[in-house]
Amino acid sequence: MSQDAEKSTAKLSKVEKKLNLLKKRAHLIFRNIDCVKLFNRILKKTPDEILATITESGLRGRGGAGFPTGMKWKAALEAPGAVKYVICNADEGEPGTFKDRVILERQPDKIIVGMATCAYVTKATEGYIYMRGEYNFMSKEIKACCEKWNDLFEKKDFPFRVSLRLGSGAYICGEETALIESMSGNRGEPRLRPPFPVSEGFNDMPTVVNNVETLAYVTMIMDDGLDFFKSVAKDDSMGGKVFSVSGDAAIKGVFELPLGMTVQEFVDIFGDGDTKAVQVGGFSGLCVPRKHFATTIIGYRGVQTGGSMILYNSTRSMYLVLKNYLEFFQEESCGQCAPCRIGCQQLLLGIEAMRQGTRPLSHIDKLRELVNVMGVASKCKLGMSLANPFNSITEHFFEEICSKW
Amino acid sequence: MTKDDVAEVIKTHGTERTNLLPVLQDVAATHRFLTEEDLVRVARAFKISAAEVYSVASFYSLLETQPRGRFVIRVCRTISCSMSGKGNILTKLKEILGIDLGETTPDKRFSLLETNCMGWCAEGPSMLINDTVYSHLTPEKVVEIIKEYRER
Amino acid sequence: MEKVSLTINGINVEVRKGSTLLEAAKKAGIRIPTLCHHPDLVPAGNCRLCVVEQKGAPFLLASCTTKAADGMEIETNTHRVREARRVILELLLAEHNADCISCPASGKCQLQSLAHEYFVQKTDFMNIADKSPIDDSSPSIVKDDSKCIRCLRCVRTCSELMGVSALVSAHKGRYTKVETLLDKPLQYAVCTMCGQCVSRCPTGALVEKNYVNDVWRAISDPEKFVVVQTAPSVRVGLGEMLNMAPGSIVTGKMATALRQLGFDAVLDTNFSADLTIMEEGHELLQRLTKALRDKEKISFPMMTSCCPAWVKFMEHEYPDQLEHISSCKSPQQMLGALIKTYYAQKRGIDPSKIVSVSIMPCTAKKFEASRLEMKSSGYTDVDYVLTTRELGHMIRQSGIWFDELEESTFDSPMGEGTGAAVIFGASGGVMEAALRTVYEVVTGREVPFENLNITPLRGTDGVRAASIRIDKPLPDWSFLEGVEVNVAIAHGLANARKLMDDVEKGLSPYHFIEVMACPNGCIGGGGQPMPTSPEIRRKRTAAIYEADSKLPRRKSHENSEVLALYKDFLTEPLGHRSHELLHTHYTKRDDLP
């Protein structure tokens, strides 16, 4: 065994130890439980009791936006409507995120129990899992799972049915109003908000849209109880969080970890020893440079994240990284509003031009002005959040952006 | 898809607007893209303009409205796959298929495209061939995979 | 009505609940720049130019889509707002082919004027204007994607007002583009050529096809005898092209201007509008006779055929219902056919030397004139169709001081028109004109409405209906005794669709339906001056009815030149010659590709 390999084994085992420690603290999502039994137990409680539990748990949306789940359910419960809907947002498209796929593959029952719990509380009668088209390979299994539960619901006279809907390749459909537009048979263009889906969603009826992971956590809160969930994390970032780790990482994949860690703690476990930056929260999140690792907290009181963690080591050109982001956004912007549609293209063309010398370096001021206008004037969060990656990368890695690598 | 096949798909799903995407997905599944006839037939059944059906379809990258081959290869180009060697995969594919990005082989068997993040970031480089995912790709693996598809 | 109160730039303003910030600002006397907003369309919030700042809010709000709420404190002119607007304008210019000197929309381009207003002369952003070739395949409309800023006014017009959706938003992100089905040339799209998209395009991405130079060439050719006709609604629209207020009636000055431009004969489409009523009214009576007296199976309702966009819409969308459409040609095409036959004969002119030009409020008329069946004179019945806007340009080019012109009348023959013809320009007008004549033909008495004004047919509702009971008909029409003739009108093809769904199912209770494709009829036509808005169209409509009320003859069957035409040439309505020259047939356009 070479010296390098020996060293890396030693490091890995250290990493594994730490990871196991963390896993003990947050080991909810992938633990196998008897979902049918749990569902029976849930039905023995009143919807009010359940709503109170979810609210008290402090569970917040795990898709990235972090909206308190209890509040969302309460709003949908109180909104008038002849029919109400629960939609599981499985349109996981944020670059660097794949945890929902793994949860869908391994724990589909938990998602459906989470949806049924929501339906029980909000009096919704129809549920949909809107899954991105790229995950079509698991449609058969998910459909079968839906059928299995629908039979059970029918047997129990529980007035709820769940079915699968597929996306067809559009990142923006992860935005809940765009998702609803897509389910309505339209272009997945975000709607004007308000009204919010909880009052006017699918078919203009009250609709709860929850992320895959959020729903799985609902199930685990119902199973393990409140106290365990709350004990998982530090401070106000309650509960665990499933992270998708990729890039220059010593170990990659899906990991359930407590919220509230610092980026440094994270890098200590997952980094390859040479991490220079971590993209927290996917392309629409922040790029945290090494000097901020120790002071940046991953979680609701720090950097909010849907769980995407992409690590970059010193061999990576942050110019190419940023270019890759912008290439993504200029295609995945829905194209409705001018700031986002044109802005994304100009940011990309702008950094390319600075690099090639066809625009002076001072062009960065123009681009920052642009990205900040996009941040306040775009129609939806896609355009608005672009300032996060753009400003953080160009601030910390300006030389890399402009000079030949 | 023949007229009857399209009618069958429409019958299965119904013609409420909420069923438009499922219908288009199923119609497109046969030959990997929507022909003008498909768009017009769906539009008639849904009582909307064919251009509107086109408008919806063209929004979604998996609902192609231009001719594609039997096997549509979509190589993930987003950062994690890009960092783990997507470039070599693409070069290999171009070489063995003899086509460039966006093109279809003359025998109409393969189309080569790039796609945005498809959720296999820890297992890159990755690609889709129609609905099937291939991850942990290497140029050698790609040769094998294509060979297998050539025989189908 | 529930009210909310808020302040805008410190001004207290109270508006009804549900109003937008843009409306509230208007009420407070504050103008907010807009581009994608249009008073006829559902707000989209696409361009973001109308952003304003709400005290305490981290983001700016699009005022066209944000509802006013109690206690809001809105600022419309802060540094942040101005900077955002400037950046957005720069972005739009980057996406735009700012080819202003040669752009047909220069001067009326809203992007141009806003860029000017905000001192955005150039931008450091890269130009990313679309590179696809200009689509000039259609005889009516030219589409230049390099000018398009994706405000989607055209798309919303085509779907919300027209119910056609020939133009749609296609693709997404950087590839987002306004396209037809599979981006086919307009000529091959399910486009009615109504030009309402042109009327609402804030830039030069959609403009009418311009034939001004062809007409100048004909005028300058000493060999040619150039005859011009002007549609009813041109006389209440043209003034707007020449710095006059909406609703100005310029009939007399227009006739003078046309002569000064060099037209050899100035005829009036109003003449053939009266003629249309004679033919179409008798067609209705013929259908009623066959159905009620002869008990034949006749399809009702009969539907008007004056509007070429409506006719093309039917050919595409309801190809199995074409028998409902009157076989009468439109007034433009009737006059066209007569100019190269009756008129040429009467004036002793070789019809091959005649160039027939019409001035229309309409872009679809250009298409209509190009239809293959419109050659019943043996020549192309109408050679060139200009819009009201194009005529305005010709007058400007010629250096005529329009407002100082003496008034004059149309030439004779075929220059006389009654009030019934004038109201063809407004939605409901053809129906009103038809009833004025048909009722009198049948009963020998005037329609039972004060001053002949059939008010239930007037107004702005998208669909309007009325019924007239026939009492004591003349002996020839005794089978009509006690019959309630049910009529309806629709304007805006989206409204026509509502009527057509019943017609298709055989449930329509109507005998006669008038449809005009454009909102409020031809006065709101796609060839009329820009801008267009409900307010401007209201003024033009009022002018139409005013013009009607002032005319000595207000019933088509009293048009002396029309009567002479029948006597000298046609013999009788629906006669042999009428059928040859004044009637037509339609084409199913629904074939699958």
pLDDT at C106: 94
pLDDT band at A7 (very low <50, low <70, confident <90, very high): low
Spatial separation of the C-alpha atoms in residues B45 and A41, rounded to whole Å: 46
pLDDT at A236: 60
B77 touches chain A (CB under 8 A): yes
Instruction: Looking at the structure, tell me whether residues B144 and B80 fall in a common domain.
Output: yes
Chain B residue whose CA is closest to C156 = B52
Domain around B52: 3-59
Ranges of H-type helices in A234-317: 263-270
B117 touches chain A (CB under 8 A): yes
Q: How confident is the model over A86-112, as a mean pLDDT?
A: 96
pLDDT band at C33 (very low <50, low <70, confident <90, very high): very high
Instruction: Looking at the structure, tell me whether residues B53 and B92 fall in a common domain.
Output: no
pLDDT at A5 over 50: no
Residue of A119, A90, A80 lying closest to A219 (CA atoms): A119
Instruction: Looking at the structure, tell me whether residues B135 and B93 fall in a common domain.
Output: yes
Single residue among B59, B86, B103 that ends a domain in this structure: B59
C432 is a catalytic site residue:
no
- The one catalytic residue in C365, C514, C555, C556 is C365
Single residue among B12, B36, B59 that ends a domain in this structure: B59
From chain A, the residues in CB contact with B82 under 8 A are 320, 324
DSSP state of A333: S
C103 is a catalytic site residue:
no
Which of A95, A183, A185 lies closest to B79 in CB terms?
A: A95
CA separation, residue C520 to residues C68, C274, C441 (Å): 30, 20, 28
Q: What is the CATH number of domain A233-313?
A: 3.10.20.600
CA separation, residue A39 to residues A45, A53, A111, A326, C98 (Å): 10, 15, 12, 44, 63
Q: What is the CATH number of domain A318-400?
A: 1.20.1440.230
Q: How confident is the model over C115-135, as a mean pLDDT?
A: 94
| Residue B65 counted as domain residue | no
| A339·C150 Cβ contact <8 A | no
pLDDT at A239: 74
Work out the mean pLDDT of chain A and round it to a whole number: 92
pLDDT band at A301 (very low <50, low <70, confident <90, very high): confident
Chain B residue whose CA is closest to A181 = B18
DSSP state of A164: E
**Chains with 3 or more CB pairs under 8 A to chain C:** A, B
From chain A, the residues in CB contact with C169 under 8 A are 187, 335
Rounded to 10 degrees, what is the CA torsion of C328, C329, C330, C335?
A: -120
Q: How confident is the model over C394-407, as a mean pLDDT?
A: 96
DSSP state of A174: G
pLDDT tens per residue, range A283-295: 999 999 999 999 9
Which of B62, B132, B133 lies closest to A133 in CB terms?
A: B62
| A331·C173 Cβ contact <8 A | yes
- Reported pTM: 0.96
pLDDT band at C104 (very low <50, low <70, confident <90, very high): very high
pLDDT at A228: 78
| A171·B132 Cβ contact <8 A | no
| A310·B116 Cβ contact <8 A | no
pLDDT at C224 over 60: yes
Instruction: Looking at the structure, tell me whether residues B38 and B99 fall in a common domain.
Output: no
- Nearest-CA distance B24 → chain C (Å): 15
Query: Which tokens hold the place of C583?
Result: 């009637």
Rounded to 10 degrees, what is the CA torsion of C541, C544, C548, C551?
A: 150
Spatial separation of the C-alpha atoms in residues A252 and A246, rounded to whole Å: 5
pLDDT tens per residue, range B107-118: 999 999 999 999
Query: Which tokens hold the place of C7?
Result: 């302040």
pLDDT band at A227 (very low <50, low <70, confident <90, very high): confident
pLDDT at C216 over 70: yes
| Residue B108 counted as domain residue | yes
Spatial separation of the C-alpha atoms in residues B67 and B49, rounded to whole Å: 21
pLDDT at C92: 97
From chain A, the residues in CB contact with B60 under 8 A are 133, 167-170, 188
A344 touches chain C (CB under 8 A): yes
The ipTM assigned to this model is 0.97
Least confident among A29-33, B76-80, C250-254, C326-330: A29-33
Question: Residues of CATH 3.40.50.11540 domain(s) within chain A?
Answer: 23-230
pLDDT tens per residue, range B117-152: 999 999 999 999 999 999 999 999 999 999 999 998
Residue of C313, C298, C329, C321 lying closest to C511 (CA atoms): C298
Which of A338, A349, A350 lies closest to C88 in CB terms?
A: A338
Question: Residues of CATH 3.10.20.600 domain(s) within chain A?
Answer: 233-313
> Which CATH number belongs to the domain containing residue B19 in this structure?
1.10.10
Instruction: Looking at the structure, tell me whether residues B53 and B111 fall in a common domain.
Output: no
From chain C, the residues in CB contact with A370 under 8 A are 87, 91, 125
From chain C, the residues in CB contact with A332 under 8 A are 172-173
pLDDT band at C426 (very low <50, low <70, confident <90, very high): very high
- Nearest-CA distance C206 → chain B (Å): 18
| C92·A338 Cβ contact <8 A | yes
DSSP state of C36: S
C306 is a catalytic site residue:
yes
Q: Domain C3-77 belongs to what architecture?
A: Roll (3.10)
| A184·B25 Cβ contact <8 A | no
Chain B residue whose CA is closest to A322 = B79
Chain C residues whose C-beta sits inside 8 Å of any chain B C-beta: 159, 164-172, 179-182, 189-190, 592-593
Spatial separation of the C-alpha atoms in residues B94 and B97, rounded to whole Å: 5
Mutate to test the interface with B, among C160, C178, C182 (most CBs of B within 10 A): C182
Mutate to test the interface with A, among C118, C172, C176 (most CBs of A within 10 A): C172
Q: How confident is the model over A30-51, as a mean pLDDT?
A: 95
pLDDT band at A300 (very low <50, low <70, confident <90, very high): confident
pLDDT at B115: 97
Domain tally for chain B? 2
Mutate to test the interface with C, among B55, B59, B66, B114 (most CBs of C within 10 A): B55
Spatial separation of the C-alpha atoms in residues C52 and C74, rounded to whole Å: 7
- Nearest-CA distance C191 → chain B (Å): 11
In chain C, what are the domain boundaries? Answer: 3-77, 91-208, 212-271+332-404
DSSP codes joined into one string, C449-498: SGGG--GGG-SS-SEEEEEEE--S--GGGGGGTT-EEEEEEEESHHHHHH
Q: Choose the CATH number for A23-230 among 1.10.287.1080, 3.40.50.11540, 3.30.2320.50, 3.30.460.10.
A: 3.40.50.11540
Q: How confident is the model over C532-549, as a mean pLDDT?
A: 97
Residue found under tokens 């970059």: A312
Single residue among B35, B59, B83 that ends a domain in this structure: B59
**Which amino acid is residue C139, in one-letter code?**
P
A346 touches chain C (CB under 8 A): yes
| B116·A171 Cβ contact <8 A | yes
What residues contact residue B19 under an 8 Å CB cut-off, 6+ apart? A185, B13
Count Cβ atoms within 10 A of the Cβ of residue C360 and give its class: 0-12 exposed, 13-18 middle, 19 or more buried: buried
Spatial separation of the C-alpha atoms in residues B44 and B47, rounded to whole Å: 5
Higher pLDDT, C380 or A225: C380
Residue of A261, A316, A303 lying closest to A392 (CA atoms): A303
From chain C, the residues in CB contact with A338 under 8 A are 46-49, 88, 91-92, 95, 149-150
pLDDT at A3 over 70: no
From chain A, the residues in CB contact with C83 under 8 A are 369, 373
**Which amino acid is residue A154, in one-letter code?**
E
Ranges of H-type helices in A257-362: 263-270, 318-332, 338-356
pLDDT tens per residue, range C161-188: 999 999 999 999 999 999 999 999 999 9
Burial C202-225 (b: 16+ CB within 10 A, else e): bbbbbbbbebbeebbebbeeeebb
Work out the mean pLDDT of chain C and round it to a whole number: 97
C522 is a catalytic site residue:
yes
pLDDT tens per residue, range C440-498: 999 999 999 999 999 999 999 999 999 999 999 999 999 999 999 999 999 999 999 99
pLDDT tens per residue, range C318-339: 999 999 999 999 999 999 999 9
pLDDT at C591: 65
Its sign, for the CA torsion A272, A276, A281, A283, is negative
Q: How confident is the model over C330-355, as a mean pLDDT?
A: 98
Q: How confident is the model over B40-57, as a mean pLDDT?
A: 96
Cβ atoms A29, A107 nearer than 8 A: yes
Q: How confident is the model over A238-266, as a mean pLDDT?
A: 91
Q: What percent of chain A has pLDDT over 90?
A: 81
| Residue B64 counted as domain residue | no
| B21·A316 Cβ contact <8 A | no
DSSP codes joined into one string, C223-268: T-EEEEEE-GGGGGTHHHHTTPPTT---HHHHHHHHHHHT-SEEEE
Its sign, for the CA torsion C279, C280, C283, C288, is negative
Query: Which tokens hold the place of C94?
Result: 């980057």
From chain A, the residues in CB contact with C59 under 8 A are 375-377, 384
Chain B residue whose CA is closest to C174 = B59
pLDDT at A2: 45
Cβ atoms B110, B99 nearer than 8 A: yes
| A-B contacts at Cβ under 8 angstroms | 122
Instruction: Looking at the structure, tell me whether residues B54 and B104 fall in a common domain.
Output: no
Mutate to test the interface with B, among A136, A168, A248 (most CBs of B within 10 A): A168
**Which amino acid is residue C21, in one-letter code?**
L
C179 is a catalytic site residue:
no
Q: What is the CATH number of domain C212-271+332-404?
A: 3.40.50.1780
Instruction: Looking at the structure, tell me whether residues B23 and B94 fall in a common domain.
Output: no
pLDDT at C380 over 50: yes
A170 touches chain C (CB under 8 A): yes
| C48·A363 Cβ contact <8 A | no
pLDDT at C543 over 80: yes
From chain C, the residues in CB contact with B51 under 8 A are 165-168, 179-181, 189-190
**Chains with 3 or more CB pairs under 8 A to chain B:** A, C
Instruction: Looking at the structure, tell me whether residues B23 and B91 fall in a common domain.
Output: no
CA separation, residue C38 to residues C147, C473, C527 (Å): 18, 49, 18
CA separation, residue A259 to residues A59, A65, A112, A243, A263 (Å): 12, 14, 24, 10, 11
C307 is a catalytic site residue:
no
Q: How confident is the model over A304-332, as a mean pLDDT?
A: 96
From chain B, the residues in CB contact with C159 under 8 A are 52
- Pairing of β C512-516 and β C225-230: unpaired
B145 touches chain A (CB under 8 A): no
| C170·B49 Cβ contact <8 A | no
> Which CATH number belongs to the domain containing residue B134 in this structure?
3.40.30.10
Residue of C37, C94, C89, C90 lying closest to C62 (CA atoms): C37
Decide yes or no: CATH 3.30.70.20 for domain C91-208: yes
